Chains A and B, each alone.
Chain A
Amino acid sequence: MDSRLLTTLSVTLGPPQKLGQGPLGTRVIVPITGGHFEGPRLSGRVVGGGDWTLLRADGVLELDLRVTLETDDGALIHMASFGLRHGPPDVIAALGRGETVDPATYYFRTTPRFDTGHEKYGFLNRLLAVAIGDRRKEGPVYSIYELL
């Protein structure tokens, strides 16, 4: 499917809240304390949010992220994305140790949806997107592509 880059989002994380194993898997809630995003039509900073992650029994990490973005010209945008992350055990273990890993060696994809009342950014209410994630030591970086 055709797509084009919408923005590249980097987030900073707070200390994870480890809730342990529940009926659906191991739940870790990761506060998002800040960050920034940059792209041809969308640039600004991350106000805050969190990622409600769930490690399933089959080793796949489900991601459920919600953040508020503030554009350089002052618009507030809600972004919510569901995603999946998984890969070979040694790669996932290296990520767990905070090492820099080639993002092509694991699967880290999300599907952001946007929602804003700001007229200039109304186009975001009317598109679907896919993000390619790169879990770096200092926090995840998402290249977000609009589905054309």
Chain B
Amino acid sequence: MEARRRDVLKLTAIAALPACARSPLVVPDSPNVKKEIAMQTRPLMTLRLDTAPTQNLGSGPHGNRVTFPITGGTFEGERLHGKVMPGGFDWTTTRADGVLELDLRITLETDDGALIQMTFSGIRDDKAEGGPYFRTLPRFETAAPKYAFLNRLLAVGRGEIRADGPVHILEEVV
């Protein structure tokens, strides 16, 4: 096993936890008192995407553009699950510094028939010092009352490229 920088960072973050006030915040006595809560997340879904052959546009002013048509997929989570509708895309751009920018738009259909628009921006840095860094910032929009909670949250995602396609582990920022 390689000793990866990111693992060291994780340990540092865990070690620092007791120093952060994770219990509900109290109103500070003085505006100068700095109270911090650690960022907390909880599972939202695991999203698997099926992609068609890419559209390779070549180098433009923002970098090398490769567009991934998304033909389907699934999402699984305790609060929502279903399938990815065909017709979405991920518009990717490799920047001058080698980092890949992602810009995805897809429509999700839950098993009980609700449609949810999902977008994310993200970055994938395969040459990051501590190992590949692939993170996204998903957002959702829906008219279905049952899933309206998605309109009111921010989320973070960790991406992986597996043999059968990209997989994104999405978590709600609580």
A92 to chain B, nearest CB (A): 13
Q: Are A103 and B25 in contact (CB under 8 A)?
A: yes
Cβ–Cβ contact A102 & B24, under 8 A: yes
What does DSSP make chain A's interface, helix, strand, loop or mixed? strand
Q: Is B52's CB within 8 Å of the partner chain A?
A: no
Q: CB of B37 within 8 A of chain A?
A: yes
In the complex, how many residue pairs between chain A and chain B have their CB atoms under 8 Å apart?
Answer: 95
Contact with B along A74-107 (1 / 0, CB 8 A): 0000000011101000000000000011111001
A2-10, A23-31, A47-55: which lies at the interface: A2-10
CB distance A130 to B125 under 8 Å? no
Shortest beta-carbon distance from A86 to chain B in Å: 6
Report yes or no: A83 in contact with B154, Cβ–Cβ below 8 A.
yes
Q: Per a CB cutoff under 8 Å, which of B16, B31, B35, B122 touches A138?
A: B31
Q: A126-B97, A126-B128, A128-B122 are in contact. Are A100 and B27 (CB under 8 A)?
A: yes
- Find out whether the CB atom of A104 lies under 8 angstroms from the CB atom of B37: yes
A21 contacts B by Cβ under 8 Å: no
Size of interface on B: residues with Cβ below 8 Å to A: 41
Q: Which chain A residues lie closer than 8 Å to B16 at the CB level?
A: 4-5
Measured CA separation A60–B154 after assembly (Å)? 12
| A111-B171 contact given A3-B13, A125-B97, A126-B125, CB 8 Å threshold | no
Interface size on A, residues (CB 8 A): 38
Known contacts A8-B36, A130-B173; A58/B10 CB under 8 A: no
Which partner residue on chain B sits nearest A86 by CB separation? Answer: B152
Q: Determine if A130 and B123 form an interchain contact, defined as CB atoms under 8 angstroms apart.
A: no
Q: Give min CB distance, A144 to chain B, whole Å.
A: 9
Q: Are A126 and B152 in contact (CB under 8 A)?
A: no
Question: Shortest CB–CB separation between residue B160 and chain A, in angstroms?
Answer: 13
**Given A1-B158, A2-B13, A128-B122: A102 touches B99 (CB 8 Å cut-off):** no
Q: A107 vs B172: C-alpha distance in the bound complex, in angstroms?
A: 12
- Distance between Cα atoms of A86 and B149 in the complex (Å): 12
Residues of B bordering A, CB below 8 Å: 6, 9-10, 12-14, 16, 24-28, 31, 34-39, 41, 97, 99, 121-123, 125, 128, 133, 135-137, 139, 148, 151-154, 156, 158, 171, 173
